Structure 1
Amino acid sequence: MSQADVLPIRPGRPNPLWRLSLFRNETVTVFRRWRTLALLGVLAAVPVLVGIAVKLETGRGGGDGGGGGPAFINQVTNNGLFLVFTSLAVTLPFFLPMAVGVVAGDSVAGEASAGTLRYLLVAPAGRTRLLLAKYASTLVFCLAATLVVAVSALTVGALLFPLGDVTLISGTTVSFGDGLLRALAIAGLVAASLTGLAALGLFVSTLTDSGIAAMATTVGLLITVQILDQFPQLHAVQPYLFPHYWQSFADLLRDPVWGEQLLRNLGLQALYVAVFGSAAWARFTTRDVTA
């Protein structure tokens, strides 16, 4: 006899454990796909490649790599913890959001393409609850993907470079433990920065029955917005583009922390979640599901 069988269920109210099981099932479905595992594998490989490249450059007498390259890369040889910051800075513009766009775009459209969406709605889940479960599982992937990059970078950094006190951007030196906490906070902020894109991908996923089309559209929108964010002529609209403040996580490496850009980033992501989450709900709850 299962736990759900022995717990009393009030008439007219759904079992809370059943609600949790829906979210759990959606999360398990996301992470058991080979495509998801492949995306996580690629994300884990990026810090390895960056770390090896920096180590080889240093071994050839390249010193600290000069002033070029990704953010924080000059500090990696002195402190392996900076490989975490460098890897997040490298993956955030494309690799991380592309992975999130693939998962979010496939969330609803993939079920319709496989012919399983109709059967999910036959169960007493309700469209709203199902949509929330799918978005929540996408958010779990956002966090998991970011942590995969951070943990991989920390492991490689510890193996290839020394670890120690961290010199912040402002010039203040903090302990390794403080730097590690800042790295964890940065990983959480990076994951939160992807929530707006996840909502956009979910909305796109409700517009079509083709998972491939939804994934391609989401990634295409990501690339287009990234390009638009580079034109100085569009400075008036750039603060409203979801990736505009993504690199603001570097402000957590200041003493004191600069909070203005961080709050703008979180506020912008919340706006995208509200707008495109509502649009996804409006579309999905009125959609004629035939597959």
Structure 2
Amino acid sequence: SVFIFVFFFFCFFLFFFPCPSHAENRFPFSFCPSLNDLYRIEMSAAASFALEVGVGVFEVLWCPRLLSFSAGMLGLSLLALYKYQDHLLYFPEFPAGSRSHFQDPILFKRTNSFEEVFVKAEDGVSLQCWLFKQKNVGEVPTLLYFHENAGNLSHRLDNIQDFYKNLEVNVFIVSYRGYGKSDSTPSEHGLRLDGKAALKYLLYTRKDIDPNRVIVFGRSLGGAVAIELCASIAEYGPKYITTPLSDLPPPSSTPRPPPRKRREEEEKRKEEEEKEEREEEKEEE
């Protein structure tokens, strides 16, 4: 889009502000006298316009002032892309209100299995974290959950409930810097520090969690955080990555939908299979 803008700017500048070196002699073509005869040849309006634009662009490209201006514009565009690249990759404020409005994990609060803590990263950034504890908290594994892009911790409550009930594990989920109630703004280096801070908190600060039974889990953007963390602690226990970023696809601004619909579809499929089995048994009888 930057190059398209520069091209059309050239065309605009060509017809309204011709290069000073040729302004007094725009036509006939001062830089190539032989083109004067060609210009006098009778031709269609389209061909005449194409020739005029083509030669004009050539003249503009040879104008030192425009070359300097276009180089400056290109440099500023690249600088802006570099400076604001994090805004193109991370979406902490989508959906609207994600940094201020949270769903209340009331079901976990009723059983005293929910705890909100704030963990300090190496650079002093405060990270919002949620811990969901089983009754036998020290006897079961703890899942360190690095979530997807966009939204806040409460958008993952359905996923957390799945892990908590079906796997019977403690779930510790961390909100990256710039997301939810965490401080600062998101960045690649910052997310590395966030991952390390979350793991260190579980291993060295919590006395009620078994440090030898921590599972590192990441999904989508969280998969990249988990991979980076696991690479720095290659000798450390289990780690599971689901749908990580294989490269840098178009950034997703939509939180991953809850798995409730998938569960319903699976249950429906199982019911149909059981029904077919019962019908087959009746036919055999």
TM-score range, shorter chain: under 0.3
TM-score between both structures, scaled by the size of structure 2: 0.24
More helix by share: 1
TM-score between both structures, scaled by the size of structure 1: 0.24
Q: Which has the higher contact order (CA 8 A, sep 6+)?
A: 1
Q: Which has the larger radius of gyration?
A: 2
